[in-house]
Amino acid sequence: MQREIEQIVNEGNAAIGAATSTEALAQVDTELFGKRSALSAAHRSLGSLDPDARKEAGRLLHEARALLEGQLAARRVTLAQSERAALLVSDRLDLTEVIPAQMASPLSRGHLHLVSQARDELEDVFVGMGFEVAEGPEAESDWYNFEALNMPPAHPARGMYDTMYLDIGEPETVLLRTHTSPVQIHLMEDAARHGTLPIHAVMPGKCFRLDTPDARHLPVFNQIEGLVVDRGITFGDLAGTIQTFTTAYFGEGMQSRLRPAYFPFTEPSAEYEITCAICRGAGCRTCSNIGWVELGGCGMVDPAVFAAVGIDSDEWSGFAFGFGIDRLALMRHEIPDLRSFMENDIRFLSQF
Ligand code: DAH
- Whether residues 322 and 207 share a domain: the answer is yes
Task: Count CB neighbours of 104 within 10 A.
Answer: 11
CA of 275 to the centre of ligand 1 (A): 20
Same domain, 52 and 163: no
Distance CA 269, CA 258 (A): 9
Examine residue 109 and state whether it is found in any structural domain, yes or no. Answer: no
Sign of CA dihedral 47, 53, 58, 60: negative
Residue 82 lies in a domain: yes
Task: Evaluate whether 299 touches 267 at the Cβ level (below 8 Å).
Answer: yes
| Residues 123 and 165 reside in one and the same domain | yes
Tens digits of per-residue pLDDT, 2-37? 888 889 999 999 999 999 999 899 889 989 998 888
For 206-274, the DSSP string reads: EEE--PPPBTTB-SEEEEEEEEEEETT--HHHHHHHHHHHHHHHH-TT--EEEEEEEETTEEEEEEEEE
Q: Which residues contact 110 (CB under 8 A, 6 or more apart)?
A: none
Rounded CA-CA distance 322/331 in Å is 16
Q: Indicate if ligand 1 lies below 6 Å from the C-beta of 298.
A: yes
At residue 145, the pLDDT reads: 97
Flag whether 108 is in a domain. Answer: no
**One domain, residues 287 and 323:** yes
> Is 295 part of any domain?
yes
pLDDT in tens, 172-211: 789 999 999 999 999 999 999 999 999 999 999 999 999 9
* CB of 266 shorter than 6 A to ligand 1: yes
- At 243 the pLDDT is 94
Q: Is the CB of 299 under 6 A from ligand 1?
A: yes
Question: Do residues 146 and 282 share a domain?
Answer: yes
What DSSP element (H or E) covers 56? helix 51-90
Of all residues in the chain, the percent with pLDDT exceeding 90 is 73
> What stretch of H or E contains 13?
helix 2-18
Q: Give pLDDT < 70 ranges for the chain.
A: 101-108
Q: Are residues 131 and 25 in the same domain?
A: no
Count CB atoms within 10 A of the CB of residue 144.
Answer: 20
Structural domain containing residue 55: 2-91
Whether 181 and 270 map to the same domain: the answer is yes
Name the domain boundary from 58, 91, 124: 91
Peptide bond into 268 cis (omega under 30): yes
Q: In this structure, which residue's CA is closest to atom 10 in ligand 1?
A: 321
Provide the pLDDT for residue 43.
85
Do 130 and 84 share a structural domain? no
Q: Does some domain include residue 185? A: yes
Give me the CATH number covering residue 234. 3.30.930.10
Q: What separation in Å is there between the alpha carbon of 299 and the centre of ligand 1?
A: 8
Q: Which pLDDT belongs to residue 323?
A: 98
My answer on whether 310 and 168 are in the same domain is yes
Claim to verify: residue 214 and residue 283 sit in the same structural domain: yes
Q: How many domains does the chain have?
A: 2
For ligand 1, atom 4: residue with the closest CA: 179
Return the best residue to mutate from 146, 181, 235 for the ligand 1 pocket (most ligand atoms within 8 A of CB). 181
Sign of the dihedral through C-alpha 87, 88, 93, 98:
negative
- Preceding amide of 198 cis, omega within 30: yes
d(CA 274, CA 271): 10
48-58 core/surface letters (b: 16 or more CB in 10 A; e: else): eeeeeeeeebe
The answer on 223 and 147 residing in a single domain is: yes
Asked if the structure places residue 287 within a domain, the reply is yes
Contact predicate 28/19, CB 8 Å: yes
Which of 177, 258, 321 has most ligand 1 atoms within 8 Å of CB, for mutation? Answer: 321
Say if 106 falls within a structural domain: no
User: Where do the DSSP E strands lie in the chain?
Assistant: 132-133, 139-141, 174-176, 199-208, 220-230, 256-263, 266-275, 292-301, 317-324
155 in any annotated domain: yes
12 Cβ inside 6 Å of ligand 1 = no
Q: What is the pLDDT of residues 216-241, one digit of tens each?
A: 999 999 999 999 999 999 999 999 99
Q: Are residues 118 and 61 in the same domain?
A: no
| Residue after which a domain boundary falls, among 91, 123, 138 | 91
